[in-house]
Amino acid sequence: MKTKQSGESALLLLDVVKLLQERNAQYAVIGALAASVHGAVRASMDADVVLSVGIHEAKSLERTFSAAGFITELTVGDAEDPIPGLLRLRDLHDNRVDLLIGLRGMEPKAFSRVLEVPFQGEVLRFIGREDFIAMKAFAGGPLDLIDAARAISAAGHSLDLELVRRLAKSFGAAAAASLERLLAR
């Protein structure tokens, strides 16, 4: 593994992505790392990724990561949970990568709108800006809304309003209303 100390979840992510690519699993980096690309840099204990796989495949992925030396924990959400499952991967320094096993309301096309960013000689695929903003409006926590507002501010006039509104609507009425409040600022 590339990590040598705590605070290196971004490096652990590179090891995770290598295995995902070997399995041809579609992924997009979300969370604080994506916030750092789309808005402003902020620290986080973990790196978050959303996958385009089902729970059955997640169980197989867990075995793959475990065999590769990761500390793994797969939890399955209940029927109401917008996150169907979460595969948490850790190393011995307590760096962490959380793999979301899908996200209800997220367009499958989001994986074709990713932004490829070079990092440490590799390439990471980040969730697109409009998908990121809609997802954060849906998540709705205080930090999520700050991340969304910063991404909107950074985008300026280049933000695709039609797309971001459609994406927020796909997460539900509350996400759409939250987005409108952010756009009105």
Partner 1 sequence: MKSKLAEAAEKALVEATQRLSPEQRVNAFLAHCRLIMQLYEAGQKLRSHAAHSQS
- Closest CB 156 distance from partner 1, rounded Å: 9
Among positions 1, 86, 88, 119, the unique one binding partner 1 when judged by CB under 8 A: 119
* Count, residues near partner 1 per rule CB under 8 A: 27
Q: Does 43 bind partner 1 (CB under 8 A)?
A: yes
Among positions 86, 114, 117, 183, the unique one binding partner 1 when judged by CB under 8 A: 117
**Cα angle, residue 97 at apex, residues 70 and 69 outer, rounded to 5°:** 5
Q: Does 158 bind partner 1 (CB under 8 A)?
A: no
Window contacting partner 1 (CB under 8 A); options: 17-25, 34-42, 61-69, 73-81: 34-42
Q: Does 24 bind partner 1 (CB under 8 A)?
A: no
Q: Does 55 bind partner 1 (CB under 8 A)?
A: no
Distance CA 88, CA 131 (A): 23
Q: Among residues 45 and 177, whose Cβ is nearest to partner 1?
A: 45
Closest CA to 37 of 133, 129, 164: 129
Q: Does 150 bind partner 1 (CB under 8 A)?
A: yes
- Closest CB 90 distance from partner 1, rounded Å: 14
Tell me how crowded residue 115 is: count the other CB atoms within 10 A of its CB.
Answer: 17
Q: Among residues 4 and 109, whose Cβ is nearest to partner 1?
A: 4
Q: Does 128 bind partner 1 (CB under 8 A)?
A: no
Cβ contact 82:102 at 8 Å: no
Cβ contact 112:153 at 8 Å: no
Among positions 55, 68, 83, 115, the unique one binding partner 1 when judged by CB under 8 A: 115
Beta pairing partners, 96 = 46, 90
Q: Among residues 53 and 97, whose Cβ is nearest to partner 1?
A: 97
